Each structure stands twice: as structure tokens, then as C-alpha cells.
Structure 1
Amino acid sequence: MAEADTHQSTDQCKALTDDGERCSRPARDDGFCYQHDESDQTVSDSQTAEAEQDEQDEQEHSEQEPESQELGTVDMTADEKTDPDDVDVDVETDHDEIAGVLAVRRTVESTAGELIGREFDAVSEIAPTDDGWRAVVEVVERRAVPDTQDIVGRYEIELNEDATVHGYRRLDRYRRGDTATFE
């Protein structure tokens, strides 16, 4: 199989298919693909020349068109482009703070349902405070069908710096499908 690959060239097979069209397989050194040979009907020299000219025209046309036009996109204006020199690459990320937020999230997720006595749904906010952390969680207070009619309660949970829960309180309740209060 490896030998057959080395003998193939980038030219197209010059045999005609049953449909009367040129075979699309790559040709070997003799000008035919692995399936055709000299006994098959072939493309005339004028057809070969036309096909090569069409292919060449297609390549020239694609080189002239910008790539964004080929993809059907619109070029960006100067205001929409970002100068790479203007991007602040020296932004420092405090990995300890991220680890702290993740630890608080894990604590809140594992304890919110049990603490509040309702089914835990989501953590919607975690923020550092002077005394530790503040997390806002959502719990399902009443299930309904369809679920857009569920009553969801938003609770604030206070944690110390070690992510130990100090207390919680309900902020509000809303119907899951009611987005008017958040707009």
C-alpha cells in the first residue's frame, strides 16, 4: 500500500467514467488511477486542457478574493479591531483567591440544601466581605409542572474566611419563569 502511494502523482486520472465524466481519482505515473488503464475510454487532449484551464482560473479567482468574503463575513471597521499592543498581557491572576472562591462554592453547594431544608438549585453569587464570604443561592421551595412555575427562593449565606457557615437569610422568592423582576 505504501508503494502505491509513492507512485501516485497529483494529476487526475484521464479515464472517463460510465457517466461520460472524467474520473476524479488521482492518477499514477501512467496517467490512470488504480481502477483504470489504457483500455478505458479517455479524455481528449482538448478536454484535458480545458479542465486544467478551469482549475487554474478557479485558483486565481480564489487567491484574489479575501478570505473573509469567501466565508460570507463582513470586514471589521478600525474601531472594531484591537491593536495587540494595547492588550494588557501583564494582568495578574490571584490563584489563591480563585481557590478560595471555589472552596466557598463547594461548601455552599454541599450544605445549602441541608441548611435551608429545601432542594438546592444553584449558586448565583459569591463575593468576599470584610469578615469572610457572602454567597447567594437558589433553592426550590415548591415544585410545579411545568417547571417554569416552580417557586424558587434566593438565600444569602454568610461564611467566615475558612468557609464555615455563620448564618443565612431569605432575600426573596420568585416563580422560575418570571423574568420581569430581573430585567
Structure 2
Amino acid sequence: MAEADTKQSADQCKALTEDGERCSRPAQDGDFCFQHDESDPTVSESQTADEGEQADEQQADEQPRSRDLGVDMTAEEKTDPESVDADVDTEHEGIEGVLAIRRTVQSTATELIGREFDAVSEIVPTDDGWRAIVEVVERRAVPDTQDIIGRYEIELDEESTIHGYRRLDRYRRGDTAEFE
């Protein structure tokens, strides 16, 4: 395992970034990545050796390792997934109704409206049951950003029986100005 870490260290660009950290990109010809060259500050041979030793120590400790994606994360965001309590009690009853309505709307929208189903964009409980907003493709185009999408409101009772629908509006798939 230590040989792999040393090889990885040797294959890694030896330039320092603006933060003073070693560049994480793979080295190409001449020990530098595509972005760096000899004019950039570099790590010394002792730093390269120290990095290999640190990697060995980290492996020995068997701590979960996270990849550095260049994003600063808070301690809360770095939570180890295995330490999270998977038995957290959630309100499954609260979402079961919404999921049932979603399944009903997805399975019947194409037949009901007579157009190709695209998405469910909203499901809201009402006094009499549920209201779902679905999007259907009213006309295909090339490129697909020019597809004409229709937004429809479907009314359902508490037993998921559809009582009616109406078109709210139409828009081109690529037109996002109205939604921003």
C-alpha cells in the first residue's frame, strides 16, 4: 500500500497552488500538470516524502478518507455517512399520500391529457383532496430546448380519483426567464 501512495505522489504535479497546497492534478511530462511548469513554486523532495508518510499513517489509523474536491466544507458537511443513525423516525404517513397522488398522476396524465407526460412539478393538498401540476410535451422540436411544454392542473379527491384538469400555460422548454 505504501508503494502505491509513493507512486501516486510521484505521479502528482509537484507545483504549489496559490493556497500553498500541492497541486492535486496528475503530472504529465516533467513532473508538472498541464497548468503548471518550472516557473511555479514546487514542493521539495522532503515534502513529497512527508506526504507519503502521512498517507501511510492515515491508512494505518483506518479513518475514513474524503477526497479533496477543492471545496471548503464545514465539520457538519464532513459527517461520515456510516456514523449517521439510519433508524431516524420519519413521517412515512405524511409522504405516502403525496407519493400515491404522484403515481396516479404519472400513470394517467398521458391518457387523460392526450400528450406525452414529462414531469410532475407540484402536488399540494386542498380542502377537497389534492391538486397536481404536471408538464406534458405538446410539440416535440429539434433541439429539444424548443419543445412546447404545457402545464396542466389536475384535481383529485382524497381517494386519488381525478375530477378534472385544465391547462395553465404553455412555454418553450428552453425559456427559463419566467421562472427565474
TM-score, normalisation: structure 1: 0.54
Q: Deviations over 1:10-51 (max 9, x none)?
A: 9x9xxxxxxxxxxxxxxxxxxxxxxxxxxxxxxxxxxxxxxx
Alignment of 1:53-72 (within 5 A): 60=53, 71=68
Question: What one-letter code is carried by the residue in structure 2 that aligns with 1:147?
Answer: D
Taking a change above 3 Å as real, the CA distance of residues 73 and 130 of structure 1, as seen in their structure-2 partners, is same
Partner of residue 95 from structure 2, selected from 74, 98, 102 = 98
Residue 180 of structure 1: aligned partner: 177
1:49-72 Cα offsets, whole Å, 9 max, x none, are: xxxxxx9866555569xx99x947
Displaced runs of 4 or more, over 3 A? 55-64, 70-76, 80-84, 89-92
Counterparts of 1:102 and 1:109, CA distance in 2: 10
Distance 2:75 2:127 in 1: 40
Indicate the SS of the match to 2:168.
strand
> How many residue pairs were aligned?
122
Structure 1 counterpart of 2:151: 154
Rg (Cα) greater in structure: 1
SS in 2 for 1:97: helix
Distance 1:129 1:73, change over 3 A: same
One of 127, 132, 141 as aligned partner of 1:135: 132
Residues 1:61 and 1:147: Cα distance change in structure 2 (over 3 Å):
closer
| Cross-structure match for 2:111 | 114
CA distance in 2, matches of 1:117, 1:58: 63
Identity fraction in percent = 71
Who is 2:142 aligned against? Answer: 145
| Structural RMSD (CA) | 3.7
Q: Which residue of 1 aligns with 2:82?
A: none
- Helix, strand or coil for the counterpart of 1:144? coil
